[in-house]
Amino acid sequence: MTADLHTEVLVVGSGAGGSITATRLAEAGLDVTVIEEGPWISPELYAPFSEAEMVTKYRHQGVNAMLGLPPIAYVEGRCVGGGTEINSGLYHRPPAAVLADWRHRYAIEDLDSDDLSRHADLVEEELSVSRVPADVPMSSDVLDRGGRALGWKVVEVPRLFRYPDGDSSWRAGVKQTMTRSFIPRAVEQGARIFPDCRVQRLVRQGDRVLGAECLRMTSTDGRRESFTVHADNVFVCAGTIQTPALLQRSGVRRNIGTSFKAHPTIKLGARFASPLDDQGFIPMHQVKEFAPDFTFGGSVSRPGYVALAMADDWTANARDIEDSERVGVYYAAIRSDGCGRVRSVRGLTSPLVSYRLTDGDLSRLARSLIHLGELLFASGAERLYPSVTNAPAVDSPRQLVKLWDAVTRTRSNLMTIHLFSSVGMGERREVTGADSHGRVWGFSNLYVNDASLLPDAPGVNPQGTIMAIASRNCERFLATR
Active site residues: 418
Dihedral (CA of 168, 174, 175, 178) sign: negative
DSSP structural state of residue 4: P
**Do strands 352-356 and 192-194 pair parallel, antiparallel, or not at all (unpaired)?**
unpaired
Backbone angles phi, psi at 17, to 5 degrees: -70, -45
Q: What is the DSSP string of 219-247?
A: TTTS-EEEEEEEEEEEEE-S-TTHHHHHH
Whole-angstrom Cα Rg for the chain: 22
For 82, phi then psi, to 5°, come to 55, -140
**Which residues, at least 6 apart from 352, have a Cβ–Cβ distance to it below 8 Å?**
67, 341, 342, 343, 345
Query: What gap in Å lies between CA 291 and CA 153, rounded to an integer?
Result: 9
Could you please report the per-residue DSSP string of 206-224? Answer: TTEEEEEEEEEE-TTTS-E
Rounded to the nearest 10 degrees, how much is the dihedral formed by the CA atoms of 126, 127, 130, 132? 140
Nearest of 439, 417, 380 to residue 236 by alpha carbon: 439
